[in-house]
């Protein structure tokens, strides 16, 4: 079992399978984002070996993320192999939905039913402003199709001051007739352009109180390790949640590890990379040291995202597409 010095068990890995993306969300990356050469990415074989090692050490849930995961060639075949790893009980995917629709039946066949769809606006012109790409219709078609296939859908909406805060009610209204969850995420300073801020106006309190002006919010008991605070609205089929990603209220129960598409490992979203698993796996002399190295990096994990941030030497320059969300 992978445990840190603060008695937190790590059983969840967020794995980025590509750094590439077909959108350019302003809060995530610059227009001229630099992508690494393909040979710098973990190969399928390396991903499988890594996940086998981690699963044997107690990891049971994998979230596939990116960049945009569906841009990775052969993703479905890779997912099928991940599914077969003993100990992996759940695979979930975070996607922007541009290419996802065509894969829904195959995902369902694999038993992958938990999909987080990133969507920050319900307006086509605003979608173009936020993502710098004209793919709103494709994403909305994916959303409809996911719901028609009874997939477990969570919409991830980053709440940005002066950009989309006037849509909190429209997003909440989506949960009336649709059995989905809309999770409003506090904006974090990871847009790959050194966009720093020392506080946010639209924190989870403000998001909740604004929605509460128009809707009755009843607290739901959150799942253990949930990063979202979730609420039911009487008469609605779905629910809403807020993710205090900037306020970091959930660090005490954090059970996750992040691996980038190039094999960099993070034990905290706000911290430095602590290990490169790809380099270790590609070095015959070091391969057998991989699990002990992961264990000791986890053991040295900071207590929370604020401590990790204080020790972060490349502050705020990263893109979330590299970290994987």
Q: Give the interface size with ligand SF4 as a residue count (CB under 6 A).
A: 13
- Would you count residue 66 as binding ligand SAM (CB under 6 A)? yes
Binding test (CB under 6 A) with ligand SF4, winner from 23, 168, 277, 294: 23
Closer residue to ligand SF4 in complex, CB, 2/117: 117
CA dist., res. 256 & res. 61, Å (int): 9
Measured torsion, CA atoms of residues 232, 64, 111, 55, in degrees rounded to the nearest 10: -110
Closest CB to ligand SF4 among 146 and 297? 146
Report the nearest approach of ligand SF4 to the CB of residue 94 (Å). Answer: 8
- Assess 191 for contact with ligand SAM (CB under 6 A): yes
Distances from the Cα of 148 to the Cαs of 51, 109, 142, 299, in angstroms?
32, 15, 10, 43
CA–CA gap between residue 129 and residue 138 (Å, rounded):
16
Residue 223 beta carbon to ligand SF4: minimum distance, rounded to whole angstroms: 24
Torsion sign across C-alpha atoms 191, 194, 195, 199: positive
**Alpha carbon of residue 291 to chain centroid:** 24
CB of 284 to ligand SAM, least distance (A): 33
CA distance 118 to 124: 14
Applying CB under 6 A, the span of 64-72, 81-89, 252-260, 290-298 interacting with ligand SAM comes to 64-72
The answer to the question of residue 175 lying near ligand SAM (CB under 6 A) is no
Report if residue 320 touches ligand SF4, rule: CB under 6 A.
yes
Taking CA atoms, 41 is separated from 13, 28, 35, 78, 213, in Å, by: 17, 20, 10, 14, 47
Q: Does 269 bind ligand SAM (CB under 6 A)?
A: no
Letters for 275-314 (x = contact with ligand SAM by CB under 6 A, - = none) are ----------------------------------------
Distance in angstroms (rounded) separating the CA atoms of residues 148 and 167: 24
321 lies in the site for ligand SF4, by CB under 6 A: yes
- C-alpha torsion sign, points 259, 80, 68, 250: negative
Out of ligand SAM, ligand SF4, none, what residue 182 binds, judged by CB under 5 to 8 A for its kind, is: none
- Residues near 162 by beta carbon (within 8 Å), at least 6 away in sequence: none
Write the CA distances from 190 to 21, 73, 251, integer angstroms: 15, 26, 18
What is the binding site for ligand SF4 (CB under 6 A)?
Answer: 21, 23-25, 28-29, 66-68, 96, 118, 320-321
What is the binding site for ligand SAM (CB under 6 A)?
Answer: 21, 27-28, 65-68, 94-96, 118, 156, 158, 185, 187-188, 190-191, 245, 320-321, 324-325
């Amino acid at each position: 079992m992978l445990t840190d010095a603060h008695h937190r068990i790590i059983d969840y890995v967020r794995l980025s399978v590509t750094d590439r993306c077909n959108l350019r969300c302003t809060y995530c990356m610059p227009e001229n984002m630099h992508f690494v050469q393909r040979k710098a990415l973990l190969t399928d074989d390396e991903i499988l070996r890594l996940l086998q090692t981690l699963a044997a050490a107690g990891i049971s849930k994998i979230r596939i993320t990116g960049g945009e995961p569906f841009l990775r060639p052969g993703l479905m075949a890779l997912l099928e192999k991940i599914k077969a790893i003993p100990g992996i009980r759940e695979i979930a995917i975070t996607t922007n939905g541009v290419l996802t629709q065509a894969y829904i039946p195959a995902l369902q066949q694999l038993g992958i039913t938990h999909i987080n769809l990133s969507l920050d606006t319900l307006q086509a012109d605003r979608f173009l402003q936020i993502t710098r790409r004209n793919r709103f219709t494709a994403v909305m078609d994916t959303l409809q199709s996911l719901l028609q296939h009874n997939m477990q859908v969570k919409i991830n909406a980053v709440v940005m001051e002066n950009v989309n805060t006037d849509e909190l009610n429209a997003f909440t209204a989506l949960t009336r007739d649709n059995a989905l969850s809309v999770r409003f995420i506090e904006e974090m300073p990871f847009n790959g352009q050194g966009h720093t801020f020392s506080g946010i106006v639209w924190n989870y309190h403000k998001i909740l109180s604004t929605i509460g002006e128009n809707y009755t919010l009843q607290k739901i008991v959150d799942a253990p390790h949930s990063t979202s605070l979730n609420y039911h609205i009487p008469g609605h089929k779905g629910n809403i949640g807020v993710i205090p990603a900037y306020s970091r209220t959930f660090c005490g129960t954090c059970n996750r590890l992040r691996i980038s598409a190039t094999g960099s490992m993070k034990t905290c979203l706000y911290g430095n990379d602590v290990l490169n698993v790809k380099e270790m796996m590609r070095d015959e002399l070091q391969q057998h040291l991989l699990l002990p190295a992961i264990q000791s990096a986890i053991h040295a994990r900071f207590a929370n995202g604020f401590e990790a941030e204080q020790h972060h030497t490349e502050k705020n320059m990263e893109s979330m597409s590299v970290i994987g969300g």
